[in-house]
Amino acid sequence: MEAIAQLIAAEMTPAELKNNAAAASAGYAYGLAAIGPGIGIGYLVGKSVEAMARQPEAAGMVRTTMFLGIAFTEALALIGFVVFILLKFA
């Protein structure tokens, strides 16, 4: 592993190395930022389905709050995405 790193370092300028590290970091940031909301939305919708099955008469209220919850959870992924585009392209 160290030999590979040395080989890469020998063939790249410091500027290229920095660019590559920034690109990899931005990718990790976006990926990690999308994992959390994915888990959160799955949990949220699962619990909403349970609630609708338990109390069908409250389905409208559950769906309303579920939709808002999904949108709030998704905001985290959007923040990660914006950090990614700012790191990568701005």
Partner 1 sequence: MNDKMSPLAMASAGQAPEVTVSRDIIRRGLIVAPLIMVIAGVIWGLTGAWSAGLGLALVLMNFGLAAALISWAAPISLALMMGVTLFGFLLRLGLISLAVFLVRDVSWVSLPALGITIIVTHLGLLFWEMRFIAASLAFPGLRPNAQEYPSSSAAETP
Binding site for partner 1 (CB under 8 A): 34, 37-38, 41-42, 45-46, 49-50, 52-53, 56-61, 63-68, 70-72, 74-75, 77-79, 81-82, 85-86, 89-90
Token pair belonging to 25:
């970091």
Contact 23, 88 (CB under 8 A): yes
CB of 58 to partner 1, least distance (A): 6
Structure tokens belonging to residue 68: 């808002």
Query: To the nearest whole angstrom, how small is the minimum distance from the Cβ of residue 20 to partner 1?
Result: 19
